[in-house]
Structure 1
Amino acid sequence: MLDYYVRLKRQYSCSINQVVIFLQQTASEQVFVSEYTDANTRHSYRVIRLWEQDPALLLSVPGLLPLATLSQTNSPRNLLEQIATQIATIQEPTQQADLLACTQVLAGLRFEKDLIRQLFRKETMRGSVIYQEIREDGLLEGRQLGLQLGLEEGVKEGRKNEALSLVTRQLIRRIGPIAPETREQIQALSLEELEDLGEALLDFSEGSDLVNWLNDRQP
C-alpha cells in the first residue's frame, strides 16, 4: 500500500485515499492490518471487511448491490433473494444486465451455483457488456472449467487471460499503441510476470520503457 501511494503521488501529485476491501471472511490476521510501520515510516489506510458490513447501506444503492451479497447477515439466502428482487425492479436493461453479471460473480464466492442460477436469469445477464468482457478475457470460461473438471489449471488460465487483457489496456492508455512483436512478447509472459508488469508500467512514459522491461525479462 505504501508502494502504491508513493507511485501515485510521484506520478500524479494527487490526493489519495486508500481503501482495501476484503471480500471473503477469513481467520487471517492480515485482514485486521490497516497500517505499515518501519523505523522512520508509518503509513495508514482504511480496511473494509465486507462480512462485517450492514447490508442496509449496500442495498440502498443499486451500484453496491453486488457487494451486498457478501455483507453481514443471519440469513444469506434471504439476503440473496432480496438482492435479486431489487435488481429485477431496475428498468434500464443495460444497467440491470451489468448488475446481474457483477452480482453473480461476487455471489459465487459465497453461494452455491444452483441457488445463483435459480434466483438470477442468465439470459438477462448475457446482455451485459461486463459479462461479455469477462467471457472475452477468458475469466468466466477458466473458472467454469475449473469447477466442472476439478482442475486448477482452468482457473489459472482464466486469471492469466484477465491479467493480460487488463495490462494491455493499461499499457495502451499509458504509452499508446503496442507493436505486434511486442504484443507477442507480452502474451508469452506468465501470470506472475504479467502482475509484475502491471506494477512496473506505472513508471513507463514511452514505448521504449516497455521494450526495455521485456528485454530484461528474457532468459
Structure 2
Amino acid sequence: MLDYYTRLKRQYWCDIEQVLIFLQATSSEIVFNTQYVDRKTRHEYRVIRLWEEDPTPLLANPALLPLATLARTDSPQDLLEQVAAAVDMIEERDERQNISACVQVLAGLRFPKNLITQLFREEVMQESVIYQDILQKGLQQGEQRGLQKGEVAVILRLLIRRFGAIEPEIEQQIQTLSITQLDELAEALLDFSSQSDLVNYLVNISPAQPNQ
C-alpha cells in the first residue's frame, strides 16, 4: 500500500485515499491491518471487509450489486434473491447483462453454482461483453497452453533420440519455457553435441514470462 501510494503521488501529485477491499470472510490477521509500520515510517489506509458491511447501500446502487452478494447477512440466500431482483429491475439491456455477469462471478465466491444458475438466467450472462471477454481470454490461454505442451513434447522426443534419457530436473525446466523460448531451443538443439550443452543453454536463458 505504501508502494502504491508513493508511485501515485510521484506521478500525479494528487490527493490519495487508499481503500483495501477484502471479499471473502477469513480470520487471517492481514485483513485487520490498517497500517504499515517500519521503524519511523507509518502509512495508514482504510480497510473494508465486505462480510461486515451493511448490504443496504450496495443494493441501492446497480454498480455495487456484485459486491452486495458478499455483504453481511443472516440469510445469504435471501440476500442473493434481493440482488437478483435488483438486477432484473435494471432497464438498460447491456447494463443489465454486464452487471448480471459481474454479480454471478463474485457470487461464486460465496454461493453454490446451482443456486446462482437458479436465480440468474445463463443466457443473460453469456450475452454480456464482460463474460465474453473472460471466455475469450480463457480460450486464448487454453490455446497457448495446448501449443506450448505440443512443442515441449516434440522437443523432448528430439532430445531423447539424440542424447538418451533426460534428467527429470531438465525435463521439468523445459516444460516451464514459453513458446518463444521453446522455438529458440528447437533451433539451438541442432548444434548441441552433448546433454551438457543443453544444461548450459538452459542455465543461460531467462525464466518464461507470462502470456508469451
TM range (shorter): 0.5 to 0.7
Provide the rounded CA distance (Å) in 1 between the counterparts of 2:35 and 2:179.
Answer: 36
2:172 maps to: none
Q: Are 1:8 and 2:8 counterparts?
A: yes
Once the two structures are TM-superposed, the CA of residue 188 in structure 1 deviates from its matched residue by: 6.4
Provide the rounded CA distance (Å) in 1 between the counterparts of 2:123 and 2:5.
Answer: 41
Unaligned runs of 5+ in 1: 143-152, 154-184, 190-216
1:174 maps to: none
Once the two structures are TM-superposed, the CA of residue 90 in structure 1 deviates from its matched residue by: 1.0
In structure 2, give the amino acid aligned to 1:21: I
Provide the rounded CA distance (Å) in 1 between the counterparts of 2:99 and 2:179.
Answer: 30
2:133 maps to: 133
Give the percent of matched residue pairs that are identical in Structure 1 and Structure 2. Answer: 59
In structure 1, give the amino acid aligned to 2:79: L
Once the two structures are TM-superposed, the CA of residue 137 in structure 1 deviates from its matched residue by: 1.7
1:218 maps to: 206
What SS does the corresponding residue of 2:109 show, helix, strand or coil? coil
Alignment TM-score, normalising by the size of structure 2: 0.66
Q: Are 1:28 and 2:28 counterparts?
A: yes
Give runs of aligned pairs for residues 89-108 of structure 1, distance below 5 A: 89-108=89-108
Deviations 1:80-116 (A, max 9, x none): 0111011111111000001110000000000000000
Name which one, 1 or 2, has greater alpha-carbon Rg. Answer: 2
Give runs of aligned pairs for residues 70-89 of structure 1, distance below 5 A: 70-89=70-89
Once the two structures are TM-superposed, the CA of residue 218 in structure 1 deviates from its matched residue by: 2.3
Alignment TM-score, normalising by the size of structure 1: 0.64
- Give the ranges of 4+ consecutive aligned residues of structure 1 lying more than 2 Å apart after TM superposition: 185-189
Q: How many residues align?
A: 151
Unaligned runs of 5+ in 2: 146-176, 182-204, 208-212
Once the two structures are TM-superposed, the CA of residue 186 in structure 1 deviates from its matched residue by: 8.8
Provide the rounded CA distance (Å) in 2 between the counterparts of 1:23 and 1:75.
Answer: 18
